[in-house]
């Protein structure tokens, strides 16, 4: 009984795109960690530093949109990068209630060193696929990533179209049999009708 249940759960997971994407991500993160080494920044820290390097003075909300990392995780990542001296925090020039971050000199150096490890991890992951499948794989990932930027209403499933009502059958009696109409000039049973009966 236990084996049957385990096999059923395995079948469900192997048919789940969410689970398979998660497993593929774990593999990619392992490749990045092996290429970078234990003392280097993590792949997610590399992502935050890359986003911060592209635009000076990003707020935390900006980083959430740019990286796709959820707010609480991003706050923890930024705090660690600030502690390491890789990011600098400043008060926003346009919004007094918000803080912005930018790369420090050490952060830019760390980003440059981590770029080789990130590229090596990506190459190792793609090497598991044939050249033709790599192109398809990247197109699929790019399409899914682009959908993440769509507003929630655009991602909501469309309601199913209402089914057309079934056409009612006409000309049927209560018993479901169609009434037979006698042709003029003939009686039921095949006998000819009189002129009077035919004209009636």
How far apart, in Å, are the Cα atoms of 98 and each of 53, 57, 71, 163? 19, 11, 15, 52
Over residues 6-48, the pLDDT tens digits come to 556 678 888 899 999 999 999 999 999 999 987 789 999 999 9
The CATH number linked to 115 is 1.10.10.10
Containing domain of residue 30, as a range?
15-151
Q: Give the pLDDT band of residue 198 (cuts 50, 70, 90).
A: very low
Is residue 10 a contact partner of residue 3, using CB atoms and an 8 Å limit? no
Question: What domain count does the chain have?
Answer: 1
Domain membership of residue 194 (yes or no) is no
**pTM higher than 0.85:** no
Is residue 105 a contact partner of residue 88, using CB atoms and an 8 Å limit? no
Is residue 34 a contact partner of residue 85, using CB atoms and an 8 Å limit? no
Tell whether the model's pLDDT for residue 68 goes beyond 50.
Answer: yes
Domain membership of residue 179 (yes or no) is no
Domain membership of residue 197 (yes or no) is no
Closest by CA to 115, choosing from 185, 38, 46, 188, is 46
């Amino acid at each position: 009984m236990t084996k049957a249940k385990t096999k059923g759960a395995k079948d469900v997971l192997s048919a789940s795109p969410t689970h398979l994407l998660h497993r593929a991500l774990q593999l990619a993160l392992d490749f990045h960690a092996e290429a970078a080494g234990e003392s280097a920044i993590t792949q997610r820290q590399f992502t935050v530093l890359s986003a911060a390097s592209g635009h000076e003075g990003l707020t935390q909300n900006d980083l959430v949109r740019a990286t796709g990392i959820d707010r609480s995780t991003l706050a923890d990542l930024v705090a660690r990068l600030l502690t390491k001296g890789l990011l600098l925090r400043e008060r926003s020039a346009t919004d007094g209630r918000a803080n912005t971050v930018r790369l420090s000199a050490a952060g830019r150096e760390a980003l440059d060193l981590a770029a080789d490890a990130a590229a090596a991890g990506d190459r190792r992951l793609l090497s598991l696929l044939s050249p033709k499948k790599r192109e398809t794989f990247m197109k699929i990932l790019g399409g899914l990533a682009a959908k993440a930027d769509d507003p929630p209403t655009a991602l909501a499933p469309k309601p199913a179209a209402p089914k057309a009502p079934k056409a009612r059958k006409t000309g049927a009696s209560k018993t479901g049999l169609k009434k037979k109409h006698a042709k003029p000039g003939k009686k039921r049973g095949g006998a000819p009708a009189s002129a009077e009966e035919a004209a009636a």
